[in-house]
A and B are shown apart, each in its own frame.
Chain A
Amino acid sequence: MSDDLLRVRGLSTRFFTEEGQVNAVEDVSFTVRDGEVFGIVGESGSGKSVTALSLLDLVESPGRITDGEIWYRNPELADEYSGEFVDGDFVDVVRLPKRARRALRGPSFSMIFQDPMTSMDPSVTVGEQIAEAVEVQRRASANPRSTRSRTQGYGLGSLLLDSVVPTREYVSDESWARAVSLLEDVGIPDAKDRAREYPHEFSGGMLQRAMVAQALAGEPDLLVADEPTTALDVTIQAQILDLLREIQDERDTSIVLITHNLGVIARMADRIGVMYAGEVVERGTLADIFDDHVHPYTRGLVESVPDLDDPDARLDPIEGSVPSLLDAEMDDRCYFADRCPKAMEECLEDPAEFDAGDGGEHTAKCYLADREYDESRALADGHFDEEVGDGE
């Protein structure tokens, strides 16, 4: 078993909006190992995307990380800093000074998003955008202390000058060559020519590959992929998943793969966290989650997906809908209880993360991991009715 790369402990991210406090991510913990794919599965409103953004410090006001630690294994960084937020080779990213945290983006962590078309600047060629990422990394590693030198030459002045004097290169030849080579690595044919094209000239799949190339520019330890194939056709999705697998194998990069598609998770993930209403409700290996699941939500998810090879007469959906994440509207109970077919009295109190007992790392935030279902303590069907205002 490989070493831990990232240890997330008790992460909470909250949004302080006009309508009130939104608990997008609450007390989330998981571990990502070297060279593995950690999958986060959840539907909309589960908090999976905000978790991803939190890892890269991309959460914007009115949201911020309010609690928890993100321990990242980086011996150099651990040497440089000392204090409470260093533990052996691990550094707590949350407590790092802002500049250092930002510096991690690129060489340590990078991210690809769902819709490549909106993640790229339509007015700059693809090659240039990747080369820019390369260039930034190059300057940063040349002069790690100075963020000024890293962004030098990219201000308004340069932009204006470039539009007037076309021969002035926006990026160095070296960076350009590396960009082309990255495009080749991600499987774009005729990379040299295609690098000079604009994003709208690329198809969805090609553009997503280009995004991956950009994300790899800094040679990161961890790649966070937020629904990278959701907007793509299924045959293209297969190509992109292959690419991610290749990156994992050849570069030993760890990947946090976020998706709502259970098939994708099954194909790619080594270990999985299932998220619901901002919490990780079950964690474990692929087999734990698909075959030995404990939490009724996990079960509901797995059972409500129509199976390609085994069409049932009837799907078994999870009744009801996702709860609101507004702090004012959340009780201190199990958030799934109102939709759970096996809710018991104790579920009115927030369950801890229990060990699911297989001896491995399988945990579930559910009393069913700790004890048998007891019908005599079951909650009445209408117990949560005042809460459910819709007709579902």
Chain B
Amino acid sequence: MSDPLLEVSDLQKHYYERDSLLDTVLRRDPTAVQAVDGVSFEVREGETLGLVGESGCGKSTTGETVLRLREPTGGTVTFDGEDVADLSGDDLTAFRKRAGIVFQDPYGSLDPRMTAGEIVREPLDVHGVGTPDDREERVRDLLERVGLSADQFDRYPHEFSGGQQQRVGIARALALEPDFLVLDEPVSALDVSVQAQILNLLDDLQEEFGLTYLLIAHDLSVVRHVCDRVAVMYLGELVETGPVADIFERPQHPYTRALLESVPRPETAEADREITTLSGDVPSPRDPPSGCRFRTRCPAVIPPDDLDIDQSAFRAITDIRDHLDSGDLDADDVAAADEWRERVPDDVPPAAADALDDAFASLADNDEAAARERLRERFETVCERENPRLGDGEREAACHLVD
């Protein structure tokens, strides 16, 4: 097992809104968007770590923060033994040569006014590498290496196809001979057949230059194909980590399972494959749920020990509780309240039925607080009390079911 090239520990990136001078004058508290909230992982030399999650989970932010393109608000990032947040001046410049990034949007990441040659040469110019002639030659080399022809150096980005544009981006990232690359959704914006070309290229380059990759993606089939280890992210936190085959074949965290299930397979059996779709949307990172952040959508929320109830009923009850807590369900809306009540099947244990009846009675009496409290006392789950955290091991899942 090789050494970790990159070590991320409890990384935090919060964005503060309502933080301007005017807000301070008006005494408004800044709200924190918890884009990345305590993420820890390591990337070993020569390997590809996949950081997977859906939009808004904070994976891109993590990637950029790790490279110090954004300043972390907490935690540490250590690259080859050095704390990245401490770097400045020449040290920071040296770091920039060793760690680069390939962006998601192939066209957007290229300056439309510069030719491909100028784009690839810019890093060399900025760092004063070699003579101008040396640089020209290196540019030609790089263009060839990524599968373009060297005489395309004087073409502008809009003259290339998406796949070719991404190749230019990769050439640029390689110009300074980095050790480590963050690949931020490098193929998401490309057609399927082109994706395959680029993935193969990245594979070849990794072997040829001994590169270490942090691959950020939402497309699980890409991740499976390319990565050695995987970390799954949800709402700013890591929920599961492990070797790729393990994660894909024996996922432990309910979110990972749901994620894997949701991906449609390109095969004829797909039409009949049953999946459990997650309900609802991802909660806002401004106000993440207490305890386990996935609990509002989890198909396996843990009921209290002393209650013997089946999952779908419990899910319905927790949905009611969530809506009540967030204010979406209130005393005025009798019809909605009835509807929610009806979602809970009748065959729940008497203790549960009683609690529900009491709560809805309070609601009818306009006493929302009492309703919430009654439900909480009967149905409070460990998932809302404690946020399960990842351990330090090779194979971890942040879920009370796994504890």
Q: Note whether A and B contact each other (Cβ less than 8 A).
A: yes
* Residue among B200, B263, B270 making CB contact with A317, cutoff 8 Å: B200
Is B54 a contact partner of A233 (Cβ separation < 8 A)? yes
Is B347 interfacial (CB-CB < 8 Å)? no
- Complex-state Cα separation, A266 to B259, whole angstroms: 18
Is B328 a contact partner of A190 (Cβ separation < 8 A)? yes
Is B163 interfacial (CB-CB < 8 Å)? yes
Interface footprint category on A: 35 or more
Is B196 a contact partner of A391 (Cβ separation < 8 A)? no
| A314 / chain B contacts, CB cutoff of 8 Å | 200, 203
- Complex-state Cα separation, A391 to B200, whole angstroms: 16
**Closest chain A residue to B269 by CB distance?**
A266
Is B265 a contact partner of A304 (Cβ separation < 8 A)? no
Is B258 interfacial (CB-CB < 8 Å)? yes
**Closest chain A residue to B203 by CB distance?**
A314
* Residue among B218, B225, B259, B260 making CB contact with A311, cutoff 8 Å: B225
Is A286 a contact partner of B277 (Cβ separation < 8 A)? no
- Besides A233-B282, A239-B279, 6 other CB < 8 A contacts? A43-B191, A234-B218, A267-B270, A286-B271, A291-B268, A306-B221
Is A263 a contact partner of B264 (Cβ separation < 8 A)? yes
Chain B min CB distance to A78 (Å): 34
Is A160 interfacial (CB-CB < 8 Å)? no
Is A183 interfacial (CB-CB < 8 Å)? no
Is A305 interfacial (CB-CB < 8 Å)? yes
- Complex-state Cα separation, A389 to B191, whole angstroms: 20
A 274-315 binary contact with B (CB < 8 Å = 1; else 0):
000000000000110011000000001110111111011011
Is A321 a contact partner of B225 (Cβ separation < 8 A)? no
| B265 / chain A contacts, CB cutoff of 8 Å | 263, 266-267, 307-309
Is B387 interfacial (CB-CB < 8 Å)? no
| A312 / chain B contacts, CB cutoff of 8 Å | 225
Is B224 a contact partner of A306 (Cβ separation < 8 A)? yes
| A302 / chain B contacts, CB cutoff of 8 Å | 266
- Complex-state Cα separation, A64 to B161, whole angstroms: 26
Q: A261-B264, A321-B161 are in contact. Are A311 and B193 (CB under 8 A)?
A: no
| B195 / chain A contacts, CB cutoff of 8 Å | 304, 317
Is A267 a contact partner of B152 (Cβ separation < 8 A)? no
B 121-165 binary contact with A (CB < 8 Å = 1; else 0):
000000000000000000000011001110010000000111110
Chain A min CB distance to B59 (Å): 12
Chain B min CB distance to A321 (Å): 5
Is A234 a contact partner of B278 (Cβ separation < 8 A)? no
Q: A190-B328, A266-B264, A268-B271 are in contact. Are A308 and B224 (CB under 8 A)?
A: yes
| B271 / chain A contacts, CB cutoff of 8 Å | 266-268, 286
- Complex-state Cα separation, A234 to B200, whole angstroms: 24
| A204 / chain B contacts, CB cutoff of 8 Å | 55
Is A390 a contact partner of B161 (Cβ separation < 8 A)? yes
Is A80 interfacial (CB-CB < 8 Å)? no
Is A242 interfacial (CB-CB < 8 Å)? yes
Is A159 interfacial (CB-CB < 8 Å)? no
Is B266 a contact partner of A238 (Cβ separation < 8 A)? no
Which B225-283 residues sit within 8 Å CB-CB of chain A?
225, 248, 258-268, 270-271, 273, 275, 277-282
Chain A min CB distance to B186 (Å): 14
* Residue among B147, B224, B263 making CB contact with A391, cutoff 8 Å: B147
**Closest chain B residue to A265 by CB distance?**
B266
**Closest chain A residue to B258 by CB distance?**
A235
Q: A266-B265, A308-B260 are in contact. Are A317 and B196 (CB under 8 A)?
A: yes
Chain B min CB distance to A382 (Å): 15
A-B pairs with lowest CB-CB distance, top 8: A263-B264, A391-B149, A317-B196, A262-B266, A233-B54, A306-B225, A266-B270, A304-B196
- Complex-state Cα separation, A137 to B281, whole angstroms: 31
Which B311-354 residues sit within 8 Å CB-CB of chain A?
328, 336
Chain A min CB distance to B138 (Å): 17
Is A31 interfacial (CB-CB < 8 Å)? no
Is B69 interfacial (CB-CB < 8 Å)? no
Is A205 a contact partner of B152 (Cβ separation < 8 A)? no
| B164 / chain A contacts, CB cutoff of 8 Å | 321, 390, 392
Query: Can you name 9 A-B residue pairings with CB atoms under 8 Å?
Result: A234-B218, A235-B262, A260-B191, A261-B192, A306-B225, A308-B260, A314-B203, A390-B161, A392-B163
- Complex-state Cα separation, A266 to B200, whole angstroms: 25
Is B275 a contact partner of A238 (Cβ separation < 8 A)? yes
| B261 / chain A contacts, CB cutoff of 8 Å | 238
Chain B min CB distance to A210 (Å): 13
- Complex-state Cα separation, A241 to B273, whole angstroms: 13
**Closest chain A residue to B204 by CB distance?**
A314
* Residue among B143, B147, B200 making CB contact with A315, cutoff 8 Å: B200
- Complex-state Cα separation, A190 to B281, whole angstroms: 14
Chain B min CB distance to A189 (Å): 8
- Complex-state Cα separation, A242 to B273, whole angstroms: 12
